[in-house]
Structure 1
Amino acid sequence: MSRSSSRLRKLSVLLASGAGLAALATPAMAQEASEPSAGLEVITVTARKQVEDLQSTPISITAFSAERLEAHGITQINKVQDFTPNLTFANVPSNSGIASNAAVYIRGIGQSDFAPTTEPGVGIYIDGVYLGRTAGGVFDLIDVASVEVLRGPQGTLFGRNTIGGAINITTVQPDDTLRVKADIKYGTDDLVNVRGMISGPLTEGLYAKVSAGLFSQDGFVDAPALGKTLGNKDSKMIRGALRFAPEGSGLDITLAADYTRDKSNGAPVVVTGIDPDEMGSFVTLNNLIASGMTSPGYCLSPEQAANTACFNERLYSRDTNYATRDTFSDLELWSTSLTVAYDLSDDIQVKSITALRRINGSFAQDRDGSNLDINYVYDDFKQKQFSQELQLVGNSLDGRLDWVAGFYYFTESGRDINPIDFLVVYAQSGGYYDYKNWAGFAQVGYELVDGLTLTGGLRYTDDQKSFLPDQYVIDTLEPFLSLPAGTRLAPYEWADNNVQKWTPMVNLSWQATPDFMVYATYSEGFKGGGYTQRVFPPEPSLPSFRPESVSSYEAGFKLMAMNNMLRLNGAAFYADYTDMQLLVADATRVGPFFTNAGKARIQGFELETNFAPGNGIRLNASLGMTDADYKELNEGVQGLTLDSKFVYVSKWTASASGEKEFDLDSAGTVTPHLDWSYRSGFFTNANGINNPELYQPGYSVFNANVRWRDAGENLSFTVGVDNLGNKKFRTFGDYQPSFGFFMQAFDRGRQYYAKIGYNF
């Protein structure tokens, strides 16, 4: 009873918050539009497996149409973070040299490591297919129809349970309309983006689409010893779809496939300093050896600044990496899917999504950024996944009852073999994995009385994970470390981590008027347990961690006002986050390891608005607040206190944009666009530890572009500047006490571009 009372109390507080926000917005409903051409477009979403108006969907969601992505100049998926409250979508090399890895956090919940021994905290879906690994998750957009960012647990609607939220990407589906679209973009550092798509009918009831893109750009961090620059772009992709949908048959079959090759020189990281107080680090040991075993501070004196045997200030930089060992990132991804939908009746549809996806990758990084063998890592990464989802979607009782039922099966296997060279030890790390996951889920919504709808959902998940660590010593540096070659770092035996979990959801929404809705939701989510992949020194058993879970409370409102000129949506939330999985440092281990850190409380809100008063003017704004605090830390967790802050999570996020279309009659239109985004301060250390050297203070970014379109809106030309203020903010940081140096990455800074496009 006490747990139920606590939940009701939290939900009532959120309802009051949502009602307060709504009360501020309600007076605008009485205003009238004075401009006949005024008004916002209708945004439709598929977040609940049905095509719905955004304003009648009772969840916190940010949606981008293809036109909005174009207006903001967004051609890479992670850039949606700049205009989505409480979202972090970073490209993080984590503890390897991978150059494309999605670290996604929504409302403070996410994950930064791509290692297959842990799961993403936010699910990414493309046309209903879940991407099991974050490797390659920072990709370019070539034929996207819409992007939806859903906040909070999504277990009762999406095939794979997602504890923090979901990013739902829908691509253009071929139909009986011929579409041709192509553009070329050129910019700073020889940026060249080429995209193209053709979609349309082959014959009656049979349609096809082919799209492709080439993306390249020079790097911006010099690596003179390697003869290249880091942070470059070199990727290509192709996507195709064949759709069979005879008119009047109720049958819709789509076979789709895509291929991506992403090669780069490596992540744009640099060494910015060392911690001289970390006397047990490998940097200190290296400098002690350089001194002839006389003084660990020998290398830090001004007289030794140019000594190539020392690890010291000669290596510190923001734009140069002095690595001498091979550094690169090479990813190859392909997938295929078969989606079959059939209308059993006017009100019931059955749908099957069958998908196969593979990733082959190899990446290496000289992490110490020097001529010294202190920290070098290599990954041989392979993953293949198969998923099968069945959905039954319908409505009955004259539309008062909507329901979704589904079954999901997911299997994944592969390897991540990691040779490591850590000054005193050369070893093989990593191993092989084999996972199976199946779930049943259902959601039912019933309109109790006109406008008042109660929705309930339930999910059962069975998550089975097996990992075989293939980790052993190859060589050691005596007399500092003496382990026989072949010594196992963890037992060479399969480790199992299985869990079964029920997760519910309940939602109450009230459509007070056709233009105003309020809602409240309670939902639960969880993420399965796993293992620490990178182990040293030897462990008697493979270190593991338990599942994490969240109980989420949300209340919000959605408002259209001023004759559809104004859209204002808001939500407040509270979450109890337990057994949270963190990558942390430990003085007794070399490198980071995963652990269940403890409990946390997360609360906050989102506000989003769009205003189109007419005469070609459009204004957009958003504000998000995520207040996350540790409430309890498990015994033995090192490097954290109750005052520690979540990494990569800003308390405040905000954005605003404006554009004005000028009509040039037969010469077409010109549309200037200006946008601003802000993130308050956050820590960038991917290993969960707050270090003042890796703190990024709050910053603003301004972007601007001007687009001309001809009178038929077929030909366009755009010139723009990203990051007008040339802010070179931190995008990644890493510090591990066992190594003793700070490694960071920074934004490229100001970029100019010009783009010409054609479509019909």
Structure 2
Amino acid sequence: MARSHRRARRLSAFRAGTSAFLSIAAASLALPAFAQEAPQTQAAAGLEVITVTARKQTEDLQSTPISITAFSAERLEAQGITQINRIQDFTPNLTFANVPSNSGIASNAAVYIRGIGQSDFAPTTEPGVGIYIDGVYLGRTAGGVFDLIDVASVEVLRGPQGTLFGRNTVGGAINLTTIQPDETLRVKADAKYGTDNLVNLRAMISGPLTEGLYAKISGGLFSQDGYVDAPELGTKFGNKDSKMVRGALRFAPVGSRLDVTLAADYTRDKSNGAPVVVTGMDPNAMDGFAVLNNLIASGMTDPGYCLTPAQANNTACYNSRLFSRDTNYSTGETFSDLELWSASLTVSYDLTDEIEVKSISAWRRINGSFAQDRDGSNLDINYVYDDFKQKQFSQELQLVGSALDGRLNWVTGLYYFTESGRDINPIDFLVVYAQSGGYYDYENWAGFAQLGYEVVDGLTLTGGLRYTDDKKSFLPDQYVIDGLAPFMTLPPGTRLAPYEWADNNVQKWTPMVNASWEATPDLMLYATYSQGFKGGGYTQRVFPPEESLPSFRPETVDSYEAGFKLMALNNMLRLNGSAYYADYNDMQLLVADATRVGPFFTNAGKARIQGFELETNFAPGDGFRFNAALGLTDADYKELDEGVQGLTLDSKFVFVSKWTASASGEKDFDLGNSGTITPHVDWSYRSGFFTNANGINTPELYQPGYSLFNANLRWRDADEHLSLTLGIDNIGDKKFRIFGDYQPSFGFFMQGFDRGRQYYAKLGYAF
């Protein structure tokens, strides 16, 4: 975007002791509480068996020795969840936020599990939590906050999962499985209407084309008006306009050992812009561009000139006339536009009754453009634009098997991932107009194996190992286009970083060791050591000029976990818990530095994270169901690298709450031939956290702890084909912070807040 156009438009982890942890677990038995459930057929009293695929095999949740939360399509429906990030409200120690990062993207997943994650989608860094759809890794978090149209289950795996999952699962993994077509004809459709002209339309049809050949097609349209006024642009930020279509063709001849599925999907996600506002400025940030703007407005005499009451309406000033919680006064073009395509080919073949070989080949592309007038004013202080392209290919080969009457189980395989693209970022700041960003080309190879052996009845030892070869190359295409004299003396064309490929190669072994013991048929105990690893990278936003492109080292996590899984009260109560301790080394952090314009990545140092999770659900019969979850993430910096600014050992992790909790309850009332009516209520709580995406604990961007209450009433006909749901989300109308940004080089506070209370009605049909 031309500058002239812009200018014109203006082991202490367990310090409470094992006895204290077990006391908490025992006390929770008395709670009307809950975990999340996968596909179910519940009897009058008692809980269904939950199956998961967290270890590349179909297993009973209660016999899978890892900390995992599982949601089925039925549970998502009951909780009123139609967008993936809402699972954070019901999963302990999970943050799944929609963060506009430093570009204004309106659909970017900032996912943290047990305090480990990443908030920026820039291709020079990697997510700390891997997201997988039908076994395919999503290499970028851009577009990672998506709507759910045909999901069969969602699994949240806590702790490093590096042995079996493709890349960057240093914090954990989110594993989504979609409905696969088979011989059963399925038709599902629903329409939802709600607050601010919310319109969600979803439909799916799946079934046989002929014997052994099955197909599925699904799609959705999602729209809603914005809720942050942008009067100078004649629009509202925070709106939604998204379209999705997904299809699958499956070939599985009856009696054959072969199963082949070809799947593809397309998503278009557009928005007027992320729902952010400017809430204030820091008058003490004397090097900030907002203060410099005011100094210029005063004729270079008084930086406090614009902050006097007499200048409150001076349009040359950056001051309180621009500060609001619900209005953004931007004049520069602001928008977010994403297109995503993907295709995959999954081939599995049973070599024997005990051994399966599987191949997953996948392609994915993202085209995006984002623009944001970040200063929220008519002034040229901070405007950014992104031209983002990404394409990836992955190939995974798995060999899964068992022997010795099921006492020996193994998974082994090879993984290949390649990714390339560009992220070109023209930036228009008060003193400089420049191009930032560049081009990237990555390649990742890995071999992995995991083997479990039941040594004696009930006692299983499992070991896993992964070797990773991670290669990254980045070409910075960053130079000055124009400058504001006399503050900018660099001539046009000056390179901000050398125009040459920078290479970052690393090889790493990551192990896992696990022991599980079925103490009784209803109680399993387990302990795990695992290591997580995430490759290094670069800072792609550089100013002032650097002699070489700033880089950062890989980060690692050594995690120690112990847990239990219990069924009780004649299968009416499920209680699962885990405690963990993690050493987090060379942690990669996005920080702000007063000597640089814009945020940059660095290795901040070492940290210690400890905590626990408890989840339970209770189905006493007569149509009652109660669920609850509790999580603790106690994270502390233990050592900071020299030169890291803005952090102390007392600083807190951003976007991470120390406590998360949730509870819900529902009751089925049988109306005979008139069907069933089910009232559902739920509550979730997050303790206070800092929202500044740049890693610094800015008090103005702190979100105190808050509770959310939701409720819905669902009616289903006697055949359970037709349903009608009336619901209220965020009953208390909490306008909590969802995002914050403060950079000393600019000097103003940018924030985003939740929409608040929402009403909806949904009509559905399925058979």
Same-fold call, TM cutoff 0.5: yes
Q: Which residue of 1 aligns with 2:135?
A: 128
Q: Which residue of 2 aligns with 1:209?
A: 216
1:568 alignment partner, one of 564, 575, 597: 575
Q: Report whether the alignment pairs 1:477 with 2:484.
A: yes
The Cα offsets for residues 476-528 of structure 1, whole Å up to 9 and x where unpaired, read as 00011111100000000000011100000000000111111010000001100
Q: Which residue of 2 aligns with 1:311?
A: 318
Mapped partners of 2:349, 2:205: distance in 1: 26
Q: Which residue of 2 aligns with 1:426?
A: 433
Q: Which residue of 2 aligns with 1:278?
A: 285
Amino acid at match of 1:244: F
**SS of residue matched to 1:67:** helix
Mapped partners of 2:130, 2:592: distance in 1: 26
TM-superposed CA distance for 1:463, in Å, is 0.4
**SS of residue matched to 2:645:** coil
Q: Which residue of 1 aligns with 2:71?
A: 64
Contact 1:611-1:619 within 8 A present in 2 as well: yes
2:272 alignment partner, one of 262, 265, 268: 265
TM-superposed CA distance for 1:160, in Å, is 2.1
**Aligned pairs (5 A) from 1:354-393:** 354-393=361-400
**SS of residue matched to 1:517:** strand
TM-superposed CA distance for 1:687, in Å, is 0.2
Q: 1:269 to 1:178 in 2, by over 3 A?
A: same
The Cα offsets for residues 224-272 of structure 1, whole Å up to 9 and x where unpaired, read as 1111100000000000000000121111000000000001101000000
The Cα offsets for residues 178-199 of structure 1, whole Å up to 9 and x where unpaired, read as 0000000000000000000000
Mapped partners of 1:696, 1:206: distance in 2: 52
**SS of residue matched to 2:196:** helix
**Aligned pairs (5 A) from 1:77-88:** 77-88=84-95
2:647 alignment partner, one of 640, 644, 655: 640
Mapped partners of 2:525, 2:25: distance in 1: 8
Q: Which residue of 1 aligns with 2:656?
A: 649
**SS of residue matched to 2:78:** helix
Q: Report whether the alignment pairs 1:508 with 2:515.
A: yes
Q: Report whether the alignment pairs 1:192 with 2:184.
A: no
Q: Which residue of 1 aligns with 2:254?
A: 247
Q: Report whether the alignment pairs 1:718 with 2:748.
A: no
The Cα offsets for residues 599-641 of structure 1, whole Å up to 9 and x where unpaired, read as 0000000000100000000000000000000000000000000
Mapped partners of 1:481, 1:487: distance in 2: 12
**SS of residue matched to 2:329:** coil
The Cα offsets for residues 36-84 of structure 1, whole Å up to 9 and x where unpaired, read as 8101121110001111111110000000000000000000000000000
Amino acid at match of 1:526: F
Mapped partners of 1:211, 1:692: distance in 2: 45
Q: Report whether the alignment pairs 1:677 with 2:684.
A: yes
Q: Which residue of 2 aligns with 1:237?
A: 244
1:605 alignment partner, one of 603, 612, 624: 612
Mapped partners of 1:328, 1:210: distance in 2: 30
Mapped partners of 2:533, 2:412: distance in 1: 20
1:435 alignment partner, one of 413, 417, 442: 442
Contact 1:159-1:407 within 8 A present in 2 as well: no
Which 4+ runs in 1 deviate beyond 3 A?
A: 9-28
Question: Greater CA deviation, 39-48 or 463-472?
Answer: 39-48
Mapped partners of 2:646, 2:235: distance in 1: 36
Q: 1:402 to 1:15 in 2, by over 3 A?
A: farther
TM-superposed CA distance for 1:294, in Å, is 1.0
Mapped partners of 1:187, 1:351: distance in 2: 43
Q: Report whether the alignment pairs 1:747 with 2:737.
A: no
Contact 2:13-2:580 within 8 A present in 1 as well: no
Mapped partners of 2:221, 2:210: distance in 1: 30
TM-superposed CA distance for 1:14, in Å, is 7.7
Q: 1:338 to 1:159 in 2, by over 3 A?
A: same
**Aligned pairs (5 A) from 1:547-562:** 547-562=554-569
Q: 1:640 to 1:351 in 2, by over 3 A?
A: same
Contact 1:197-1:209 within 8 A present in 2 as well: yes
Q: Which residue of 2 aligns with 1:32?
A: none
Contact 2:13-2:609 within 8 A present in 1 as well: no
TM-score calculated relative to the size of structure 1: 0.97
Q: Which residue of 2 aligns with 1:537?
A: 544
Q: 1:735 to 1:12 in 2, by over 3 A?
A: closer
Amino acid at match of 2:393: F
Q: Which residue of 1 aligns with 2:109?
A: 102
Q: Which residue of 2 aligns with 1:464?
A: 471
Mapped partners of 2:168, 2:281: distance in 1: 41
Mapped partners of 1:369, 1:730: distance in 2: 17
Q: Which residue of 1 aligns with 2:174?
A: 167
Q: 1:564 to 1:551 in 2, by over 3 A?
A: same
Q: Which residue of 2 aligns with 1:221?
A: 228
Q: Which residue of 1 aligns with 2:61?
A: 54
Mapped partners of 1:506, 1:201: distance in 2: 43
Alignment: residue pair count: 747
TM-superposed CA distance for 1:13, in Å, is 9.0
TM-superposed CA distance for 1:537, in Å, is 0.2
TM-score calculated relative to the size of structure 2: 0.96
Question: Greater CA deviation, 36-45 or 17-26?
Answer: 17-26
Amino acid at match of 2:97: A
The Cα offsets for residues 256-292 of structure 1, whole Å up to 9 and x where unpaired, read as 0000000110100000000011111100100000011
**SS of residue matched to 1:283:** helix
1:179 alignment partner, one of 186, 191, 199: 186
TM-superposed CA distance for 1:158, in Å, is 1.1
Give identity over the alignment, percent. Answer: 84
Q: Which residue of 1 aligns with 2:694?
A: 687
Q: Which residue of 2 aligns with 1:4?
A: none
Amino acid at match of 1:598: G
Q: Which residue of 1 aligns with 2:524?
A: 517
Q: Report whether the alignment pairs 1:341 with 2:353.
A: no
TM-superposed CA distance for 1:162, in Å, is 1.0
Mapped partners of 2:743, 2:102: distance in 1: 10
Question: Greater CA deviation, 245-254 or 172-181?
Answer: 245-254
**SS of residue matched to 2:467:** strand
TM-superposed CA distance for 1:97, in Å, is 1.2
**SS of residue matched to 2:514:** strand
**SS of residue matched to 2:663:** strand
2:416 alignment partner, one of 409, 413, 417: 409
TM-superposed CA distance for 1:18, in Å, is 6.0
Q: Which residue of 1 aligns with 2:37?
A: none
**SS of residue matched to 1:370:** coil
Q: 1:12 to 1:447 in 2, by over 3 A?
A: farther
Question: Greater CA deviation, 159-168 or 608-617?
Answer: 159-168
TM-superposed CA distance for 1:159, in Å, is 2.1
Q: Report whether the alignment pairs 1:297 with 2:304.
A: yes
Q: Which residue of 2 aligns with 1:700?
A: 707
Gaps of 5+ in 2: 1-10, 32-41
**Aligned pairs (5 A) from 1:489-508:** 489-508=496-515
Amino acid at match of 1:141: L
Mapped partners of 1:410, 1:664: distance in 2: 54
Contact 1:162-1:525 within 8 A present in 2 as well: yes
Contact 1:15-1:520 within 8 A present in 2 as well: no
Amino acid at match of 2:108: N
Q: Report whether the alignment pairs 1:526 with 2:533.
A: yes
Contact 2:14-2:610 within 8 A present in 1 as well: no
2:601 alignment partner, one of 594, 604, 626: 594
TM-superposed CA distance for 1:10, in Å, is 7.3
Gaps of 5+ in 1: 1-6, 29-34
